[in-house]
Amino acid sequence: MTNAQWFMLVGGLLLVRGLTSTILKRSPVTAAIIYLAVGLLVGPSVLNLFHFNPLKESALLEVLTEIAVLISLFSAGVKMPVPFSFARWRAPILLATASMTITVAMVAAFAYYVLGLPLGAGVLLGAILAPTDPVLATDVQSRHPGDRDQLRFTLTCEAGMNDGSAFPFVMLGLGLLGLHELGDNGLNWVVVDVLWATLGAIAIGVAAGVALARLGWKLRREPHRHELMDDFLGLGLIGFVYGLSVVFHAWGFLAVFFAAVALRQTEQKLARATQASAEKNHAAEPLPTVSEGSLIFKEHLERLSEVMLVLLVGGSLFLNSWSWEAVGLALFLFMVARPISVVIGLMGTGTSWRIRGMTGWFGVRGIGSLYYLMYAIQHGLPETLALQMIQLTLIVVTLSILLHGVSVKPMMGRFWRRGNQITPP
């Protein structure tokens, strides 16, 4: 396809999406399914007007998916209900750690014993497919900062954290393949890739989020009364925190999510204190916040990235990409590994079985998985193995878009009608 044809395709798709927003909300399918169908139609599966080669364009795709995930993580972080409490976060923390580990192990075992992949490749594949996606899972995530739905909160918080908690397993898989230094008895991996990279990311994110919240709040109040550009501040926070994390060998995805959480939490604490003081003086005009001011812009960027990346997924698939091995892996992940890991991970938490069941099904896979795969390719994954893992990952992501996309509206609609709220603070 020429550049002009690409502009016409994407522009036309955006026009149709914008004009049919209400119709799409009432339809049984998600927007991602529409984008995927268009990608399959113009790609090598049907019309063969273009073919996107993920192996040849792995550097470009790594950057595109990296940006999309970062923006989505920031959006997820600022939607977290406040104030923070460990009791509320216990379930998603367990999902992002214990359930993540179980899923990686189960997928690795399937890849090793059923698909015949080397153990290192199996662990790497498990790490690529285990994290749930913050980009394509918007239909099951918190809709706004005041959303108190318990299921939405759990899925949003899990997706925000497990895009960082998957990284140690990516490095473990690369290490077992001889592409990363694990150290004697894995000591370097445990100390650097697990402990330091995780704790360092959380510390960097929280410190930066709190600092920006307090600085922005001070500049907006008397005597300064500055007008701030919230969009730039949000993007600046993402870029600075992510870059700083990379410099200090911490997991940037985790840092950006916790920076957004800390920004929102701190601004809410300051707002409550200011409101209490204002009520005494009969002046209760609320101040704008960086988190809310930047959220709308970030959601627009998130939608645009979803359009482009899902189109590329559809344009990467051939008809012979649909092997029994790839489909079997996807079904094993969705119907065996994910539900079992959720049930085990949430044992003893008091989480209702309704929420466990919904959480076990809606483990959407998408753009995050593509990023980890491109990251591995850029770090020296052998071409033959890379091609095999590209095919497996693309089919898993495609089936996730289809199966989860078709089921999300009827299942979530029935779930909401029965009520499911977070206990107010």
The DSSP line for 299-351 is: HHHHHHHHHHHHHHHHTT--GGG--HHHHHHHHHIIIIIHHHHHHHHTTTS--
* 414 has a pLDDT exceeding 90: no
The residue-averaged pLDDT of 165-189 equals: 95
When the pLDDT of each residue in the chain is averaged and rounded to a whole number, the result is 88
The residue that leads in pLDDT, 420 or 99, is 99
The residue-averaged pLDDT of 295-305 equals: 82
Distance CA 92, CA 76 (A): 13
The residue-averaged pLDDT of 380-395 equals: 96
* 22 has a pLDDT exceeding 60: yes
* 208 has a pLDDT exceeding 90: yes
* 351 has a pLDDT exceeding 80: yes
The residue-averaged pLDDT of 214-240 equals: 88
User: In the chain, what's the furthest Cα-to-Cα distance?
Assistant: 71
Distance CA 272, CA 265 (A): 11
Give the SS3 label for residue 225.
Answer: coil
The residue-averaged pLDDT of 23-34 equals: 86
| Axis crossing angle, helix 383-417 with helix 290-314, rounded to the nearest 10 | 120
Q: Give the model's pLDDT for residue 355.
A: 87
Residue with tokens 């101040």: 287
Q: Give the model's pLDDT for residue 145.
A: 57
CB 250 within 8 A of CB 204: yes
Beta strands in 111-179 (DSSP E): none
The residue-averaged pLDDT of 92-107 equals: 95
Burial class (CB in 10 A: 0-12, 13-18, 19+), 151: buried
Distance CA 202, CA 214 (A): 18
Which DSSP state fits 114? T
The residue-averaged pLDDT of 362-384 equals: 93
Confidence of residue 419 (pLDDT cuts 50, 70, 90): low
Residue with tokens 């049930």: 343
The residue-averaged pLDDT of 223-246 equals: 91
Confidence of residue 6 (pLDDT cuts 50, 70, 90): confident
The residue-averaged pLDDT of 242-262 equals: 96
Distance CA 224, CA 220 (A): 6
Confidence of residue 220 (pLDDT cuts 50, 70, 90): confident
Distance CA 248, CA 234 (A): 21
Q: Give the model's pLDDT for residue 423.
A: 44
**Which of 168, 183, 193, 158 lies closest to 104 in space, CA to CA?**
168
Phi, psi of 166 (to 5 degrees): -80, -25
Residue with tokens 């662990």: 123
Q: Among 115-119, 217-221, 374-378, 399-403, which stretch is predicted with the lowest mean pLDDT?
A: 217-221
CB 253 within 8 A of CB 70: yes
Confidence of residue 23 (pLDDT cuts 50, 70, 90): confident
Q: Give the model's pLDDT for residue 279.
A: 57
Cα Rg of the chain (Å, integer) = 22
* 147 has a pLDDT exceeding 70: no
Residue type, 254: L
The residue-averaged pLDDT of 183-196 equals: 94
CB 77 within 8 A of CB 258: yes
Per residue in 58-90, pLDDT (tens digit) is 999 999 999 999 998 998 888 887 677 777 889
Distance CA 78, CA 134 (A): 13
Q: Give the model's pLDDT for residue 425.
A: 37
Paired with 421 in beta bridges are 149
